[in-house]
Structure 1
Amino acid sequence: MISSIFGKTKPINFIILLVSLFLIYWAVQFYLFDFTIINIEIASVILVLMTLLFSVFIVDFIIKRNKLTGTNSYAILYFTLLFVVFPETLGDSNAIFTSFFLLLAMRRLLSIKSLKNIKLKIFDAGLWICVSSIFYEWAILYLLLVFAAIYIYEPKNIRNWLVILSVGFCFFMILYGILILANETSFLTSHYDFTIDTSAIYPIKWWSSIKLSLYVVLNIGLAFWTFVHLSKGGVGKVATMRLIALSFFIGLVVNVLVSTENTNAVMVTFFPSIIFIVNYLESIKKPKFLELILVLSIVVPIVVFITKL
């Protein structure tokens, strides 16, 4: 039943998932974070919610454009389900904005494999990563992903490496100009201090710790399986998968470094995670087993989500 719905790309799938994500977002705000109508700033909430919902389309576009999975809707299904598994991230608007701009960066990075307009794509990806660092300063570590993409696709052209310097200069000048106009130049030193709160690195609640640990172990296992499967099948996606795997591990580092009581940055790892999950699902040959996994993937997180609320 579920595989017949999400096994294909249909407009109804977007409607189902967008409505579900919309309801999940508000359920989290009112029941998990005890928000009230009086406390909500309508304009900011609408901006955050629209960014979140638009991220679903960005994810679907990146996957289809780069043929990271087959022609199905499993990726956006699991992208939505991960918010059910980690509802805390919906209370962190910085995580939502950071993830959104990193998706835009990933879109440009993965398109470098065409070997067309490489410098422009490097510049765009680097700039989006710098923009994402406005919300989480440690997101700047994703520039390592840009260096990795250059090394994989065209390392011998020295000008590709120099583009990163121009990205940093342009971003600094634009941001500094805006801060001068807003009379907030202290933002640079206060935000980009790159401090590490060692007391917050390990989650205090055992439930959060176990959940995150299982998530990491599962993705590492699926990533390993994906690389083994691709090498046996001779599929030319290994280089792309290397970037996606590196993105996941950088996301884990960022999630650890920005960990505080008011942040939950695990969302930045959702995109690579769903790629690993869907590649595994597509390898399952038995329809009944696939259906069972899909049902459990939906029912179990929802039950846990409801009990937590």
Structure 2
Amino acid sequence: MITSIFSKSKPINFIVVFFIVLLAFLIARVQLVNEAITIGLVFKELGLLFVCLGSVLLLNFIVSKNSLTRFGNYEILLFSLFLLALPQSTGDANILLANFFVLLAIRRIISLRSQLHVRKKLFDTAFWIAIASLFYFWALLFFILIPITLLLYTDNKIKHWIIPFVGVVTVFVICVSISIVWNGSFFGIFVNLPEWSYDFKNYNTLKFLLFITTLFSFGLWSSLFYIKNLKQKKKAFRPSFTVVIIAAVIATAIIVLAPEKNGSEFLFLFAPSAVIITNYIETIEETWFKELFLAILFLVPFVLLFI
């Protein structure tokens, strides 16, 4: 039943996905927000909700525009289910915004496939990653995607290797200018040094363990087939698919390094994981197995709500 609904792109799919995202967002607010309800808080939370919904639409755009999956909407369904399975992933405003800007960067770097406006796309990618790092420092790791993508396209033009750094410097100059105006100093805006932690004790709960086991078991299993099938993709599309798997590796590194392991750091992993798992689902020929595979992913978030 789930496969028949989401195997093709339909308006009803977005309604279902938006409802799941809204449910995840509301559950997170009930669990995490302890402030008194004010007009300012309402507008702030509405803004963050729109960021969540915008991330769904942006993911769908990236996937459909670059043919990362076939014609269904499994990827946005999985993304929304991941949010519901771990509502805390929507709890940190900075990470929500950082992830949105990372998706904007991934959109630009994947679009290099067309080899049109390469310089502008490289600048935009670096610019958005730098903006994302202002909200969450470790988002800067996604900058690794740029040189890797240039290598995948065997791009030897020196200008193309320099332009991304211009994008980062542009953000730096803007931040310094803002710092001078607001704080009266050159680097007043850069008050926090990067932090990291290898303390995983917060994950030592039944709910976290079940979620992590589900996400990584399904993700790793799908990744094996994803990597295996890379050679079967058209040569022009291979770098785009490679970017997705590398983005998943970077997101995993961010989870490991995250200074506060409260669940919000998993958000960076949801989009690439959704694309990877969707690619595996689309290769399953047995209808009963595909339904079972999706049913487990669909039911797990609702089971976790009662733990």
TM-score normalized by structure 2?
Answer: 0.91
Specify the code of the residue in structure 1 equivalent to 2:37.
I
Inter-partner Cα distance in structure 2 for 1:240 and 1:94 = 27
In structure 1, the residue matched to 2:45 is: 45
Q: What's the counterpart of residue 68 of structure 2? A: 68
Q: How far does the alpha carbon of each residue in 1:45-103 deviate from its partner, in whole angstroms, 9 at most, with x for none?
A: 11111111111110000000000000001111001001122211111112211110000
Q: Mean Cα displacement is larger for which, 98-107 or 284-293?
A: 284-293
- Structure 2 regions of 5+ residues with no counterpart? none
Instruction: Give the corresponding residue for 1:180.
Output: 180
What SS does structure 1 have at the residue aligned with 2:191?
helix
Instruction: Provide closer, same or farther for how the CA distance between residues 161 and 211 of structure 1 changes in structure 2, counting only shifts above 3 A.
Output: same
Q: Write out aligned runs for 1:199-278 (5 A).
A: 200-201=199-200, 203-207=202-206, 208-209=208-209, 211-212=211-212, 214-231=214-231, 233-236=232-235, 237-260=237-260, 264-278=264-278
Bigger shift: 141-150 or 65-74? 141-150
- Contact 1:251 1:266 (8 Å CA) reproduced: yes
Q: Write out aligned runs for 1:9-158 (5 A).
A: 9-30=9-30, 32-33=31-32, 35=34, 38=37, 41-158=41-158
Contact 1:7 1:73 in 2 (8 A): yes
Counterpart CA distance in 2 for 1:183 and 1:143 is: 28
Q: Report if the CA contact (8 A) 2:17-2:80 is conserved.
A: yes
Using the alignment, how far apart are the partners of 1:12 and 1:67 within structure 2? Answer: 21
Q: What's the CA shift string for 1:1-35, capped at 9, x where partnerless?
A: 222211111112111211221122112211x2264
- Alpha-carbon distance in structure 2 between the residues aligned to 1:3 and 1:268: 26
Q: Which moved more, 1:96-105 or 1:2-11?
A: 2-11
Task: Give unmatched runs, 5+ long, in structure 1.
Answer: none
Q: Give distance in 1, aligned partners of 2:190 and 2:216.
A: 33
Indicate the larger mover: 3-12 or 178-187.
Answer: 178-187
CA 1:109–1:301 in structure 2 vs 1: closer, same or farther (change >3 Å)?
same
When residues 52 and 146 of structure 1 are mapped into structure 2, their CA distance, relative to the original with a 3 A threshold, is: same
- Counterparts of 2:184 and 2:300, CA distance in 1: 46
Say yes or no: does 1:166 pair with 2:174: no
- RMSD after superposition: 2.1
| Structure 1 residue 117, shift from structure 2 partner | 1.0
Q: How far 1:128 sits from its partner (Å)?
A: 0.3
The structural deviation recorded for 1:249 is 1.0
Write the distance in 1 (CA, Å) between the matches of 2:262 and 2:7. Answer: 37
Find the counterpart in structure 2 of residue 190 from structure 1: 191
Cα distance 1:297–1:262, how it changes in 2: closer, same or farther (>3 A)? Answer: closer
- Residue type of the partner of 1:224? L
Aligned equivalents of 1:215, 1:148: Cα separation in 2:
26
In the superposition, relative to structure 1, how do residues 45 and 291 fare at CA in structure 2: closer, same or farther (>3 Å)? same
Contact 1:75 1:278 in 2 (8 A): yes
Paired residues in the alignment total 303
The code of the aligned residue for 1:73 comes to N
**Judging changes above 3 Å, is the alpha-carbon distance between structure 1 residues 37 and 223 closer, same or farther for their aligned structure 2 residues?**
same
- Change beyond 3 A, Cα 1:229–1:262: closer
Query: How far does residue 224 in structure 1 lie from its aligned partner after superposition?
Result: 1.9
Q: Distance in 2 between matches of 1:10 and 1:215?
A: 26
Q: Could you say if the C-alpha distance between residues 262 and 224 of structure 1 is closer, same or farther in structure 2, counting changes exceeding 3 Å?
A: closer
CA contact (8 A) 2:183 2:189 kept: no
Identity fraction in percent: 27
Answer with 134-143 or 214-223: which moved more. 214-223
- 8 Å CA contact 1:259–1:265 kept in 2: the answer is no
User: CA, structure 1 residues 143+135, in 2 after alignment: closer, same or farther (shift >3 Å)?
Assistant: same
- Structure-2 change in CA distance of 1:234 and 1:48 (3 Å): closer
Q: Distance in 1 between matches of 2:136 and 2:34?
A: 24
Asked if the contact 1:81–1:301 (Cα under 8 Å) also holds between the matched residues in 2, the reply is yes
